Amino acid sequence: MTHVMTTHASVIDLRHSQPEGARVPARDRRRALVTGAAGFIGSHLVEALLRTGHEVVGLDNFSSYYDPGVKRANIAASLADPRFSLFADDLATVALDPLLNGVDMVFHLAGQPGVRSSWGPGFSTYVRQNLIATQRLLEALARRPVPTVMASTSSVYGENDGRPLTEDAPLRPVSPYGMTKAAAEQLIDVYRHDRGVPVVCLRYFTVFGPRQRPDMAFQRFVDALECDRPLHVFGSGHQSRDFTYVDDAVAATIAALGAPSLVYNVGGGTPASVNEAVALLQQVTGKQGRVVHEESARGEVCRTWADTSRLRSEVGWQPRTSLTEGLAAQVAGYRRQRDLDEVAI
């Protein structure tokens, strides 16, 4: 049975939206709302919550930023679980009180991603999805406060001077995207102090792994190698990132719920250059491909590196997946989905 719904009026009561068979008694079962549930990180988070026995309400607007069919594939397995209900609607307009009805925890991962498309006329979408949508959720949480984790990004920091950045580093974003995420963090601070909304922010550093968005570098590289097309690398490839495997990011997201600090970095801990990552992908796929270097994208920083000592010491989290292991898993996930798509055709 498929639980994809479109919300309309506020009369929807999610406590009665699932089959009776889904209400299996469990002492530690809680009900979670996940925004951006069909996205890259969100779909993995939904699966992790379901595996640990929780009920999950998902919200996703299936935007056209990339093919909505990719999101449908991301969430397909979870839709078979009767403890999961997915609502297709926009956080910037949906009635939120019904969605929060009976919810014990919230994970806000919805937002407009991407640095390159945040310039020019596309900026209004970033304001709507990263600021207005977040403000509406904060207003709803002020009426019904529950422990909440909200996704932010390393892009709020801007350039890195070659040392690991702590959470106390100044926020100096160099793209409109990063600016909207920094502004969202400031909004959260306002609602924490004025309305007592219990929110923890996580600054993710370049998350990768199976189901990575098709516009992100590793997924583009894997697709190019597997389809025998040139790999297009922005800039020299010497730029480095603190790559974070998606399962580690999800574990941090769950662990941060109710954590004592207001903001945490989530990073893999071992930065690598884009060229090094390409070389690893060539080894994993067994294909060399032709690398084509293009002009650096506006708003892209040269390096990122997270100091994650706060998250490690306060909640006991640590990354467990190396870049090599994670890239192998991403390639394997790409091939599995390709095979499924071929069977469907």
Residues with a known catalytic role: 177
Residue 165 CA to residue 148 CA, distance in Å, equals: 24
Geometric angle at alpha carbon 193, from 187 and 194, rounded to 5°: 85
Of 138, 31, 156, 47, nearest to 92 by C-alpha is 138
SS (H, E, C) the chain: CCCEECCCCCCCCHHHCCCHHHCCCCCCCCEEEEECCCCHHHHHHHHHHHHCCCEEEEEECCCCCCCHHHHHHHHHHHHCCCCEEEEECCCCCCCHHHHHCCCCEEEECCCCCCCHHHCHHHHHHHHHHHHHHHHHHHHHHHHCCCCEEEEEEHHHCCCCCCCCECCCCCCCCCCHHHHHHHHHHHHHHHHHHHHCCCEEEEEECCEECCCCCCCCHHHHHHHHHHCCCCEEEECCCCCEECCEEHHHHHHHHHHCCCCCCCEEEECCCCCEEHHHHHHHHHHHHCCCCCEEEECCCCCCCCECCECCHHHHHHHCCCCCCCHHHHHHHHHHHHHHHHHHHHHHC
Q: CB 35: neighbour CB atoms within 10 A?
A: 27
Tokens representing residue 234 in the block: 């922005």
